[in-house]
Amino acid sequence: MEFTTQHFIALAPLLITSATIIVVMLAIAWRRNHSQTFLISVAGLNLALLSILPALKVAPLAVTPLLQIDTFACLYMALILVATLACVTLAHAYLGDGGSGYPGNREELYLLILMAAAGGLVLVSAQHLAGLFVGLELLSVPVYGLVAYAFFNKRSLEAGIKYMVLSAAGSAFLLFGMALLYADSGSLSFVGIGQALAATGLPSSLAQMGLGMMLIGLAFKLSLVPFHLWTPDVYEGAPAPVAAFLATASKVAVFAVMVRLFQISPAASSGVLSDVLTIIAIASILFGNLLALTQSNLKRLLGYSSIAHFGYLLIALVASKGLAVEAIGVYLVTYVITSLGAFGVITLMSSPYNGRDADALYEYRGLFWRRPYLTAVLTVMMLSLAGIPLTAGFIGKFYIIATGVESHQWWLVGSLVLGSAIGVFYYLRVMVTLYLIEPNLRRHDAQLHWEQRAGGVMLLAIAVLAFFLGLYPQPLLNLVQQSGLAG
C-alpha cells in the first residue's frame, strides 16, 4: 500500500512517541541527566497528545491492514498519553534528585514507560489479531522491567518475576486462541472474523474455544477473577508510579481492544461466551470488593478494588448495545483520573526513595494534620472510587447501571449494587484513618523539592477535575459520544 500524508498525520501520536523513545535513548547514551530525560519525555508526550487533533481530521482511516485510526482510537490514545504523562511526572518526584534519591540509574524508567505507552497506542488502534499481539507485547515487556525497577527491594523483584511468568502464560493462551480463531474463520482481521462468525449464525465450537482462550489471555492482563492472583502482589511490589501506570494506561489499552473486538463481531460475545463473561463479571465484583475489605496495605487495597472496577466494566461489555460503548468510555476516563490521584498520593508520600513505599495504612493515620493537601486529594479519590454523588466516579457508575438496566441484565446490576455497598465501607475506612488524631502527634512537614511540588500541583488538578466532572459531566459525555466505534 502507498503511504500518503494523511497516513502520517493519522499515525502522528505513535510516530512522535516512538521518536521520543529514540531521543531519550540517545540522550541517556550521551549524558545521564535525570531532569533532562524527564523534560524530553514530557515534551514528547505533550507533542503526541497535541498531534491527536490533526489525526481526528483524517479519521477514520485504515493505516495498513493492522491499524485503524478512528475517533474511538483517538479517545483512548489521548487517555493513555495523559495517564503516561501523569505517571512520568510522578516518577520524577518519586526518584528524586540529589543524594537522597533513588540509588540506581533513574533515566531508564522513562524509556520503559514510553515504550509501554507506544504499545498501548498500537493496541487501541489494532483492527487485526497481529496488530493486537504486537501492541500487547510491546506494552507488556517493558512493564516487567518497570515492576522490578526497585531491584534492591526483594518485593519489587518478586513482583517483576510473578508478573512476567503469569503474563507469559496469558500471552500463550492468547496466541493459541488466535490460531483456533484463524483456523475457523480463515481471517486475522477483526472485520473478517466478525463476518465469518456472522455468516454461520452461532460461532462453531472451534471459534468459541478460540474466543474463550483469547478471553483468558486478556482477562490475565485485566486481572479479572479467576486470573487475578498476581494483582495485589505486583501492585504492592512495584514502585508507586509504575503501579499507577499498570492500573491506568496498561489496563485501558487492553480493555479498549477487547471492546473493539467484541463490538465489531457481535457474534463473538453471544452464546456461551456471554454467559462466561457474566460469571467473570459477577465473580470479579464480589471477590474484588470482599478481598479489599481485609487489606491494611493501601496498594493491595487499590489492587483488589481495580479487579472490582473492571468487573463493573464487563457489565457494559456484556450488554454491548445501546449505551454500552459510551458507558465504557465515561467509566474508563473517571477510573483513570481517580486511580492516578490515589497512586499519586502514595508516590508523594513515598519519596524521596527510602527502601519501601509508604503504602501501609497506619502510615496514613492522622495524615490530615501533617499533609492537608495530600489528604484532600486522597479523600476526593476515595469518594470518587466509592461512586459518591458529586464526584466523577458517580457519573461512571450511573452510566454502567443505566446500560445494565437498558439490556435487562438484572443479575449484573444487582451484583454492582452489592459490590458498591461493600466498597463504600473500605473506602470510608481509609478516609477515616486520614483524619484520626494520634496521641503524640508530631508535625514533620518535609521541605518539598520542586519535582515534588510539580507532582503535588498535578494531584490537586486531578482532584479538581474529579469534582468538576461530578458536577458538570457534559464535556466528557460529548467527547465520549463523538468517539463511537462507527468512527
pLDDT in tens, 202-258: 677 888 888 889 889 999 989 898 888 889 899 988 988 999 999 999 999 999 998
For residue 269, the model assigns a pLDDT of 56
- Report the distance separating Cα 401 and Cα 195, nearest Å: 31
Beta bridge partners of 128: 189
The answer to whether 11 and 50 have CB atoms below 8 angstroms apart is no
Residue 1's pLDDT is what?
A: 66
Question: Could you write out the DSSP letters of every residue in 450-478?
Answer: HHHHHHHHHHHHHHHHHHHHHH--HHHHH
| DSSP run (H or E) holding 245 | helix 240-245
Whether 447 shows a pLDDT value over 70: the answer reads no
| Coil vs helix vs strand at 125 | coil
Q: Is the pLDDT of residue 40 over 90?
A: yes
Higher-pLDDT residue of 483, 26: 26
Taking only the tens place, the pLDDT of each residue in 354-393 is 667 777 888 888 888 888 888 899 999 999 999 888 888 8
Evaluate if residue 189 carries a pLDDT over 90. no
Comparing CA positions, the residue from 261, 277, 401, 276 lying closest to residue 327 is 401
Asked whether residue 299 carries a pLDDT value surpassing 80, the answer given is yes
**pLDDT at residue 248, rounded to an integer:** 92
Query: For residue 90, is pLDDT > 50?
Result: yes
Q: Using CA of residue 239, residue 240, residue 244, residue 247, what is the dihedral sign?
A: positive
Average pLDDT over residues 100-114: 81
Mean pLDDT of 61-69: 86
Q: What pLDDT was estimated at residue 372?
A: 85
Q: What is the pLDDT of residues 108-165, one digit of tens each?
A: 899 999 999 999 999 999 989 999 999 999 999 999 999 998 877 888 899 999 999 9
Query: What is the C-alpha end-to-end distance of the chain, expressed in Å?
Result: 22
Region 57-70: mean pLDDT is 85
Percent of residues, the chain, with pLDDT higher than 70: 91
Distance CA 277, CA 190 (A): 19
The H-assigned helical ranges of 265-357 are 272-293, 298-319, 324-350
Domain residue extents for the chain? 5-481
Residue 486 has pLDDT above 50, yes or no: no
| Residues in CB range of 232: below 8 A, 6 or more apart | 291, 295, 299, 300, 303, 304
More confident residue, 12 or 353: 12
Query: Quick one: the chain helix, strand, coil %, rounded to 5?
Result: 75, 0, 20
Q: What pLDDT, on a 0 to 100 scale, did the predictor assign at position 317?
A: 86
Strand runs labelled E in 66-181? 67-69
Residues 94, 21, 30: CA angle, nearest 5 degrees = 85
